Copies of this chain bind each other. A is one copy, B any other.
Amino acid sequence: MKALVYLGPGKNALEERPRPDITASTDAIVKITKTTICGTDLHILKGDVPTCQPGRILGHEGVGIIERVGPAVTTFKPGDRVLISCISACGKCVYCRKLMYSHCTTGGWILGNSIDGCQAEFVRIPYAETSLYRVPDGADEEALVMLSDILPTGFECGVLDGKVAPGSTVAIVGSGPIGLAALLTAQLYSPAEIIMIDLDDNRLEVARKFGATQTVNSADGKAADRVMAMTGKRGVDTAIEAVGIPATFELCGEIVAPGGTIANIGVHGKKVDLHLESLWDRNISITTRLVDTVTIPMLFKTVGSHRIDPKLLITHRFKLDHILDAYDTFSAAAKTKALKVIIEA
């Protein structure tokens, strides 16, 4: 089969690889119909993810059709259409039983990382019954691809951890795909204001279309002042960090109101300064989280009832044969204005 393979820093290729086999009784083999590329895949390509070694098929998102199941799988059968969670969950370890699937002791984020992933014609999914979700008849496959990772990540790490609530004031720092996913799903809780902050006016314009009530270009270093002015000097109830660098995290600390929450989504590569000398008495919370994807069933329903439209995130479409073009387009997002790309297998 065809598969996108990581070959070491800066190198990937579309190669011919053998089809995956069932290796555990709880596995399923899924024929991929649609997949996508995640910002994390670009991190891997930079050589920043040591758990992912050369030779690995990348990708942890997608929808497809069950091809085969292991003998312990009773709730899926060949032919079932399924959504793949980016998180593999055994369903029985101490973390899974607290619904913290991201920390599953034998699973978690392993697809396209420590085991072969979804950017291929077929993929082996461990713990199939607790890591796949049946796709309802008539559901839009492209929309659902957004539910493998990006939408639950924005929602769980940003919106839920950030305690977004009706009437509240939210700032989202970073208007890339993940910040926009937070923006889309934040609206499920009807906040009064959503202020989007980014360096790129194009992305801020997209944010307005997606529902931001105000935007701030932070290029001049005065974003905090402007957010404080917009909020009557009070600050925001929820500040969502969706970039992953010290400056954006620290901005969140400057704009969070007493009693508010800073919800970190960004993947950080180094430490940040936490200004406890000004925050120790502010009654705030700071949260971090790797997505658990426990909200996939709920997001399914909100998509089905048209409360949110994840397809807004999709800007480009490619065939699997042209996945290297897809990588080029996605990694040149500033130029191509790519948000999420669909790869059709």
The chain A residues found within 8 Å of chain B, CB to CB, are 25-26, 71-72, 75, 91-95, 97-100, 102-103, 129-130, 165-168, 187-193, 213, 244, 249, 258-259, 264, 266-277, 279-290, 292, 294, 297-302, 304-305, 307-308
A304 to B297 Cα, complex, angstroms? 32
Residues on B with C-beta less than 8 A from A305 are 167, 191-193, 213
A24 to B40 Cα, complex, angstroms? 39
Q: With both chains docked as a complex, state the minimum distance between the C-beta of A297 and any C-beta of chain B, in angstroms.
A: 7
A266 to B281 Cα, complex, angstroms? 9
Given contact pairs A75-B92, A166-B189, A191-B305, a sample of 17 additional A-B residue pairs in the complex whose CB atoms are under 8 Å apart:
A71-B71, A91-B92, A95-B258, A97-B99, A99-B99, A100-B283, A103-B258, A103-B259, A165-B298, A167-B298, A168-B298, A168-B301, A188-B189, A188-B190, A192-B302, A268-B276, A271-B274
A75 to B92 Cα, complex, angstroms? 9
Q: With both chains docked as a complex, state the minimum distance between the C-beta of A138 and any C-beta of chain B, in angstroms.
A: 15
Known: A192-B301, A192-B305. A283 touches B290 (CB 8 A): yes
A209 to B102 Cα, complex, angstroms? 39
Q: With both chains docked as a complex, state the minimum distance between the C-beta of A274 and any C-beta of chain B, in angstroms.
A: 4
Residues on B with C-beta less than 8 A from A75 are 92-93
Q: Check B297 against A94 for contact (C-beta < 8 Å).
A: yes
Residues on B with C-beta less than 8 A from A282 are 288, 290
Q: Check A189 against B190 for contact (C-beta < 8 Å).
A: yes
A26 to B26 Cα, complex, angstroms? 11
A277 to B50 Cα, complex, angstroms? 14
Known: A259-B95, A259-B100, A266-B280. A286 touches B289 (CB 8 A): no
A289 to B102 Cα, complex, angstroms? 29
Residues on B with C-beta less than 8 A from A289 are 281, 283
Q: Check A25 against B130 for contact (C-beta < 8 Å).
A: no
Residues on B with C-beta less than 8 A from A165 are 298
Q: Check B272 against A302 for contact (C-beta < 8 Å).
A: no
Known: A192-B301, A259-B100, A285-B285. A274 touches B273 (CB 8 A): yes
A276 to B275 Cα, complex, angstroms? 14
Most B C-beta atoms less than 10 A away, residue of A193, A213, A287: A287
